[in-house]
């Protein structure tokens, strides 16, 4: 695993092979991140200025609660401003993408290949079925 600057890991966190935590990611106690998880990745934000696309700096954080399990090759963007937040007890399957500033409520389940667009809010104890798309 690669753990960036200023990351915080709670007790008994498990990081499997090839996990990358970008700077400032917080992971709560007893959480498990499977192979290839990327958390705190720069969000996808662009604006047109002078007829060209310009990247918008993504300066927020990424907070993963306690007792969370994240499946292989899932990506979680950092917030553009503020934090992307994964609540306590959330279970995320393989190959999920969670964009900037998303909030997922505690004890929710996100099944494989779900894509959650920027700034979407998912409530507590929600289940998102495979290949669902959520617009922010």
Catalytic residue positions, numbered: 100
CA distance readout (Å), 104 to 2, 53, 91: 24, 30, 10
Tell me which long-range contacts 81-88 makes (C-beta under 8 A, separation of at least 24).
Answer: 84/60, 87/124, 88/28
**Residue 84: both structure tokens together:** 């992307």
Alpha carbons 58 and 92: distance in angstroms, whole number: 23
| Overall size of the chain counted in residues | 136
User: Residue 41, CB half-sphere, CA atoms under 13 Å: how many?
Assistant: 19
Structural contact between residues 20 and 7, judged by C-beta atoms closer than 8 angstroms? no
């Amino acid at each position: 695993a690669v753990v960036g600057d200023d990351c915080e890991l709670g007790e008994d966190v498990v990081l499997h092979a090839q996990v990358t935590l970008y700077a400032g990611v917080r992971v709560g106690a007893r959480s498990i991140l499977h192979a290839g998880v990327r958390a705190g990745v720069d969000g996808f934000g662009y604006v047109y200025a002078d007829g060209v696309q310009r990247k918008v700096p993504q300066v927020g954080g990424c907070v993963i609660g306690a007792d969370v399990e994240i499946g292989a090759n899932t990506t979680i963007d950092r917030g553009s401003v503020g934090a992307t937040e994964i609540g306590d007890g959330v279970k995320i399957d393989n190959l999920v993408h969670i964009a900037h500033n998303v909030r997922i409520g505690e004890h929710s389940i996100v099944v494989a290949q779900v894509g959650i667009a920027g700034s979407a809010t998912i409530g507590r104890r929600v289940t998102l079925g495979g290949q669902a798309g959520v617009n922010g």
